[in-house]
Amino acid sequence: MLDSFATTDHTDGKGLVVTAGDRAGFDTIDRVELLTALAEHGYVLLRGFESDPTTFSALIQSVSSRITLDPARKFAGGNVAQKIEAGLVPQGLHMENGATPWVPDLVWFYCETPAKVGSQTTICDGLYAWERLPERTQELFLSTRITFARPMPEDKWKNLVVRLLDGAKTADEVTLDDLFAVTDDDVDVKYQLRPDGSVHYKYYTYAAHTTLFGSDIAFANSILTPSVNYEPPVIEFEDGRPLDAMLMRQVIEATELETDEINWHTGDVALVDNSRLMHGRRKIRDPLRSLYNAQSYAREDLVGAVRDLTSGHQAA
């Protein structure tokens, strides 16, 4: 797998670092092999490749059927990568867009300028975190969905729809029917249009679930850090029960024990399976740190090929 490059575990047998010794381009990476490595390791860090926002965007587009976005962020140098600008405070573990009905398959990062001190991205493999939860807690998360409920400002939800419609309509032309149209059929969500143009949604999902590539259960969700750029949602179980302090303490303990850090190098690109891993960050101690983010849905043909190759071999 990726035999033409040097590969090593990222940390403690988790993740995979793929290193190009001669500044090779991303076009030298076989896409099925890349996603197979992702299925096996949960995240892949590409280091030493010829990288910039343009080649980063091209790599993403080559394995993705759709590019989505965070409506609160601005695009940088195109319409794929977005600059991460979320202040300097630490950010807890979360799935990308995990508190919304628009959860991408893949999360991408490109490091333009690494921090000189601290400011690491944190990452937690939900397969391993799941095994650390008590059996009764596992049973609860498997049997009962959680809900995220909050309003989304008019400009934010309309910009998202414009993106998911591939620009077929302008924001002024977008209607609530378009929001329904870009919401996947298997997503359980209730929308309510408000007089001010905002949309209130209530999104139903499981905190523990199978992953994009396999049938193993991963504890991957956004109950720890559901919001940065938006109004915090109301989070509860589907039956109205709160996620009480004892339960959350178990979650925090399990995820902290499985949290690792990415210390960025200039030009690094990371690909993360958003159905399996949660990510966050330490406090930003160097404001010159420059990191780009992108979100996408994987091409079905590539996912199918990877599933065929990895059936029965996913790590747990």
- Ranking 57-61, 134-138, 279-283, 288-292 by mean pLDDT, the lowest is 288-292
Q: Are 110 and 56 in contact (CB under 8 A)?
A: yes
CA distances from 151 to 158, 184, 194, 222, 234 (A): 13, 19, 9, 17, 10
DSSP one-letter code for 251: H
Residue-wise pLDDT for 262-276, tens only, equals 999 999 999 999 999
User: In whole angstroms, what separates CA 3 from the centre of its chain?
Assistant: 27
Q: Are 129 and 277 in contact (CB under 8 A)?
A: no
pLDDT score of 286 = 85
Give the separation between CA 120 and CA 261, rounded to whole angstroms. Answer: 6
pLDDT score of 290 = 87
Judge if 6-114+263-274+283-310 and 128-254 fold alike in CATH terms: yes
Residue-wise pLDDT for 215-235, tens only, equals 999 999 999 986 666 788 999
Q: Which residue has the tokens 């559901």?
A: 226
Residue-wise pLDDT for 277-292, tens only, equals 999 999 888 888 888 8
pLDDT category, 315, cuts 50, 70, 90? very low
Helix (H, G, I), strand (E, B) or coil at 126: helix
pLDDT score of 21 = 83
Name the nearest CA neighbour of 190 among 262, 271, 179, 113.
Answer: 179
Question: CATH fold of 128-254, please?
Answer: Double-stranded beta-helix (3.60.130)
Please identify, in words, the CATH class of the domain defined by 6-114+263-274+283-310.
alpha beta
- Ranking 37-41, 195-199, 284-288 by mean pLDDT, the lowest is 284-288
Maximum average pLDDT range among 84-88, 125-129, 287-291 = 125-129
Maximum average pLDDT range among 53-67, 137-151, 288-302 = 137-151
Q: What is the DSSP track for 68-110?
A: E--TTS-B-SSSS-EE----SS-EEEE-TTTTSS---SEEEEE
Q: How far apart are the first and last CA of the chain?
A: 19
Q: Are 292 and 84 in contact (CB under 8 A)?
A: yes
DSSP one-letter code for 281: E
Residues in the chain: 316
Where are the strands (E) in 50-207, listed by range? 64-68, 82-83, 91-94, 106-113, 121-125, 146-152, 188-193, 199-205
Q: What is the mean pLDDT of residues 106-135?
A: 95
Where are the chain's structural domains? 6-114+263-274+283-310, 128-254
Give the separation between CA 83 and CA 283, rounded to whole angstroms. Answer: 17
Give the separation between CA 26 and CA 211, rounded to whole angstroms. Answer: 26
Structure-token pair, residue 270: 């990371």
pLDDT at residue 70 greater than cutoff 80: no
pLDDT category, 316, cuts 50, 70, 90? very low
- The residue type of 281 is R
pLDDT category, 78, cuts 50, 70, 90? low
pLDDT score of 5 = 94
Give the separation between CA 121 and CA 84, rounded to whole angstroms. Answer: 12
Residue 109's beta-bridge partner residues?
Answer: 270, 293
pLDDT at residue 153 greater than cutoff 60: yes
pLDDT at residue 130 greater than cutoff 90: yes
Structure-token pair, residue 209: 């679930």
